[in-house]
Structure 1
Amino acid sequence: MKRLSFRLVSLVLALVMALGAFGTTFAQGNTLNILYWQAVSILNPYLSGGTKDLEAASLILEPLAWFGPEGELVPALAADIPTLENGGISEDSTQITWTLKEGIVWSDGTPFTASDVVFTWEYCTNPETGCSGLSFYDGVTEVVAVDDLTVQVTFEAPQPYPYLPFVSYSAPILQEAQFAECTGAAAATCTDQNFGPIGTGPFMVETFLPNDVVEFVANPNFRGAAEGKPYFQRVVFKGGGDAESAARAVLETGEMDYAWNLQISPEILNSMEAAGMGQVIVGFAGSLERILLNQTNASSDLPEGVRSTNVDGSNPHPFLTNPVISHAMSMAIDRTIISEQLYGPGGQALCNVVSGPPRNVSPNNDDCLTQDIEGANAMLDEAGIVDSDGDGIREYEGTPLSVLYQTSTNAVRQSTQALIKQWWSEIGIETELRNIDSSVFFGGDPSSPDTYQKFYADVEMFTSGTNGPDAQSFLVRWICGEFPGPENGWLGRNVPRHCDPEYDALYEELTAESDPERRSELTIQLNDILIENGAIIPLIYRADVSAVSNTIEGIQMNGWDTELWNIEDWTRAE
């Protein structure tokens, strides 16, 4: 009955939202009302590639350390950050030893120990789990509980940046007791665990309706409870709608306290903010809005298991593996118009895969900042990629340059699509546009044909970026063998199916390099290979743009990790 009654309440709230008139009591007192218009699908971050799922799960599940607003490491479950100086990192850089905070318990009252950390590694690295965070544990050969409060991580080779395993909202700790029977092939079947994980964070799940709403309550066993943390005793984490309605709910009507991921025309956002109910907050880190070019054949004529699958390199895309075509597509785009008219302060024109911090940003690709339709046409003509039958569409080896361009449903993204379709038509490329509900597109359902990882299209657009100031965990997304496919539940991270042995060799060098300056040099070289190969077209250096009620205090906007990383410190002004 509890689930049924809550569903009825949710439907009523959704109806009222649609009418644009939430009651004023919905955003008062000790209830924090959060609106992520991309609704939450699952609360186990290891079984999802969607940021909205990881963000929601971060209220419950914590890592050993967060990345702070400046990209710095901030202890969460760890007592401190291991370094060479304090003895936490071995002299040969093959081991890192974490000391856990004393007295931490799970929300069910049982002790949090090093055994839970070891289990989390075993859970994610089980090849049958289909763990979307597997790359965070690359090169780890052993995780050992030295004692209840000490965890030692051993790498197969010197690890110059050992802060990927168990760090950030992408790699939190799972409770061994709860997930012990959910490893390997059983992982996806553990609905109770995946929808209601037990955590050490400030909140617990009370009710979860997938793709709709999560209700959290304060964790009475949270380590900050004695200090009155969290301030809010309940969080209603609502999903659905779109970015514009989410912004309005905070900035104009005041019915919600926080709204995330506001890709909205800057004019509209500024107009909403002028109502005086809330403010827009922005955080730059390492995120880029980009177009990925499928390096495999996505034709619907191909059978399941072959369509958009690498198949050992035997299923290439008919023309998008040709860098001349991808470079022409990039040259045709006016990034300045996109950034100024569609993003405003929330975005800057971008020509690189790695967008920050500055020491890792390549200076070699800035020519993309100037649109060059004439140059793109000349380059295609010179390569013999011409319109031979006069229908306005060029052909490559007999195949018309016609692409299906998909992204999530979002006003800014649809406007971007429309502009790019026009520009591509001016260089002889036909474009069909498709947008997919973001809860589906980012949901990771292996049975859905519409996820960004399945990539049943020629090109697709979305945002992601580095999970910290070091780019290694981002650059791993383009190495051979990391492809999504049927064998891993379509959870591989190399979404465009890019494969280049030169890139892989350079990436391996990066994983073994400890000198910071050389790491930056290698990062720039890897970035430039990706641009040259043409599997990605960077568009916009994106800030995280959200809106917060003027009544909420204590927020530290964070582009490097979850925006909710310090939610236990949020309060409501009296």
Structure 2
Amino acid sequence: MRVPWLFKLFSLLVVLSVVLVACAPAAPAPAEEGAAPAAEEAAPPAEEGPKRGGTITFALYQEPEILNPHICTQTACDEVNEFILEAPLGVDPDGNFFPILAKEVPTRENGGVSEDGLTITVRFKEGIKWSDGEPFTADDFKFTWEAIMHPESGAVSTTGWRDIESIETPDDYTAVIKFKQFYAPYLALLTAEILPRHATGDPANMPKWDFNWHPIGTGPFMMTEWVSGDHITLVRNPNYREAPEKPYLDGINIIITPSREVGKAMIKTGDIDILWDLVEADIPEFENMEGVVLSAPPDTGTERLLLNLADPTIDATDDPLNNPHWALGDLRVRQAIQYGIDKAKINDELLYGKATLGTSELNLGWAKCDIPVSEYNPEKARQLLEEAGWIDQDGDGIRECHGCPYAEEGRPLRLKIQTTSGNKLREQVEQLLVEMMRDIGIDLYIENVPSSVLFGSWASGAFRKHGHFDILMYTTSYGIDPQAHMEGYFASWNMPTEANGGRGFNYSRWVDEEADAAIKEAGTSPDLEVRKAAYQRLCERIAAGLPHIYLYDRLELNAYRTRLHGWIDNNWMDIGWNAEDWWVSE
């Protein structure tokens, strides 16, 4: 078991305390909003070709709860899985689909797409094996669909998959997908990781599969050890389709650090090679750091507040309109919260002005929405709260219910905000939000939890899934086609409930008929302009209904040591998307 890094933790924490004081960056000169150095400019050119051998250390400050990609909802889960599991297709840095397990991207020209768009034929590469040596076949793809669609599997999303009528496998290397109706982002379905039928189990028991903690994949690396709270060890997959030439690395050690700050200290001292998920406030410190490259491509992620519109005392209600949240169920309260947030202050004071102020779910790509930045107007916020029956009669600065529609008379307007623990920036943002809310008479209090708790599965009883919260704060992002993401988070039929086995991401439990109609149109039209217009209407409905309040758009910020070569920025996939090409120079 590899644990030496733990013995360095105490000394690193000491170093960190000095670094934070002595090396805190001065405010940078004014720069274009969101600007950051490109990785290609910062990285020194390699003087020699790829070398085989060596290991690297990758630091995550969040530990995955589970590694089944169709149950987990954590980004940390995706980052680990990228090294192990694969999909038929991937998306390159320019936004183009490319084949991974498939021989080619299905098109009409190559016979992969029927004239009516209802039949998709996927031809898989031959000779591929799972890491345990068993052959990969088209039946594994069919099984993945069966597992996702099983009503008791706990799969977090069935978007697109439920539109499939059947999958036929005429031979081991061909899957014929027949859709009930045209599904516009059909290629996006083929970017989902495939599950091995032989190494999993009954889909009805998917939340309990051993595979969830010991995944078998076709990727360049395989997992040999997972010590919870400490590390995950990956080694070269001897059955990888490009073996023995690739991957170049012998292995990847993924360590779980208690915070991002600890990881920052470790990459400075060379104890780790990759540091995941920096924030815009780190740019001045890292952009010229010796021996370290800052990777900073634009990202689709937006940090937001996710508001619960349903009664948090009811477990996973499917009727939020008749069981509203005692405060947030009133649109005027949600509007007041947004008017009371000074987004520019958050950006200027905590992010060095490097972020772009958040406006909508779709902030990048062909479907980008045009929504203006919300107005900061605390006086208007106070007026809305007064109109909603929230009045401070006892003079303590916090409003109480006096004629409000859903709470009992005299109840103070006290709301809980939660995010991932160990994230210094989020904790600082929360402190500013507490001050801003108090200024308009709302008592906002903080109760943060580990990532694995906040982003836990339905089966684990996670409070986000079951609706037991007031306000959450985190970042989520979408892929090259946003349909599954938008339907998952905002369609009324995607509220996690007992009846649907906890599927979907509509944790706000937002119901809006116009939004539902826009989602359906965006998912079924073959016309890209029609789809874009539908997403614009959807973003406008979100801006009006405020299930989410967008704070700032994120860059995809990671750092790596210059001894690591082969890194290519790709904001459409996870860090390890091309890990088979990584190598180290020492």
What amino acid does structure 1 have at the position aligned with 2:323?
N
Tell me if structure 2 keeps the 8 A contact 1:114–1:148.
yes
Q: Map of 1:50-449 to 2, 5 A cutoff? A: 50-167=74-191, 171-179=192-200, 181-184=201-204, 186-191=205-210, 193-226=211-244, 228-250=245-267, 252-263=268-279, 265-266=281-282, 270-272=284-286, 274-298=288-312, 302=313, 306-307=314-315, 309-311=317-319, 313-344=321-352, 347-357=355-365, 359-363=366-370, 365-368=371-374, 370-382=375-387, 385-394=390-399, 395=401, 396-397=404-405, 398=409, 399-409=411-421, 410-444=423-457, 446-448=459-461
Identical amino acids, percent of aligned pairs = 29
What amino acid does structure 2 have at the position aligned with 1:163?
L
SS in 2 for 1:173: coil
Q: Find the counterpart in structure 2 of residue 49 from structure 1.
A: 73
Tell me if structure 2 keeps the 8 A contact 1:467–1:474.
no
- Which whole-Å CA distance do the structure 2 matches of 1:142 and 1:445 have between them? 27
- Which whole-Å CA distance do the structure 1 matches of 2:458 and 2:231 have between them? 18
Tell me if structure 2 keeps the 8 A contact 1:63–1:166.
yes
Q: Quick one: structure 1 residues 455 and 557, their matched pair in 2 at CA, closer, same or farther if it must change by over 3 Å?
A: farther
> Aligned-pair distance for 1:469?
3.7
Instruction: Report Cα offsets for 1:305-357 as digits up to 9, x if no partner.
Output: x2453357542111212222212211221222223433358632111121121
What amino acid does structure 1 have at the position aligned with 2:436?
W
Number of residue pairs matched? 541
Q: Alpha carbon RMSD of aligned pairs, Å?
A: 2.4
What is the TM-score with the length of structure 2 in the denominator? Answer: 0.87
Q: Find the counterpart in structure 2 of residue 20 from structure 1.
A: 12
- Which whole-Å CA distance do the structure 2 matches of 1:525 and 1:441 have between them? 30
> Aligned-pair distance for 1:490?
4.3
> Aligned-pair distance for 1:223?
1.4
Q: Find the counterpart in structure 2 of residue 3 from structure 1.
A: none
- Which whole-Å CA distance do the structure 1 matches of 2:381 and 2:80 have between them? 43
SS in 1 for 2:429: helix
Q: Quick one: structure 1 residues 260 and 452, their matched pair in 2 at CA, closer, same or farther if it must change by over 3 Å?
A: farther
Tell me if structure 1 keeps the 8 A contact 2:84–2:218.
yes
- Which whole-Å CA distance do the structure 1 matches of 2:82 and 2:413 have between them? 43
- Which whole-Å CA distance do the structure 2 matches of 1:131 and 1:91 have between them? 31
| Stretch moving more, 502-511 or 410-419 | 502-511
- Which whole-Å CA distance do the structure 1 matches of 2:253 and 2:287 have between them? 23
> Aligned-pair distance for 1:115?
0.7
> Aligned-pair distance for 1:92?
1.4
SS in 2 for 1:452: helix
2:507 corresponds to 1:507: no
Flag structure 1 segments of 5+ consecutive residues without an equivalent: 1-5, 23-27
Q: Find the counterpart in structure 2 of residue 25 from structure 1.
A: none
2:536 corresponds to 1:548: no
> Aligned-pair distance for 1:448?
5.0
Tell me if structure 2 keeps the 8 A contact 1:286–1:468.
no
What is the TM-score with the length of structure 1 in the denominator? Answer: 0.88
Tell me if structure 1 keeps the 8 A contact 2:196–2:217.
yes
- Which whole-Å CA distance do the structure 2 matches of 1:217 and 1:41 have between them? 21
> Aligned-pair distance for 1:538?
0.9
- Which whole-Å CA distance do the structure 2 matches of 1:428 and 1:21 have between them? 38
Q: Find the counterpart in structure 2 of residue 572 from structure 1.
A: 584
- Which whole-Å CA distance do the structure 2 matches of 1:474 and 1:283 have between them? 22
- Which whole-Å CA distance do the structure 1 matches of 2:302 and 2:325 have between them? 24
- Which whole-Å CA distance do the structure 1 matches of 2:348 and 2:327 have between them? 32
Tell me if structure 1 keeps the 8 A contact 2:309–2:320.
no
Tell me if structure 2 keeps the 8 A contact 1:47–1:188.
yes
Q: Map of 1:475-486 to 2, 5 A cutoff? A: 475-486=487-498
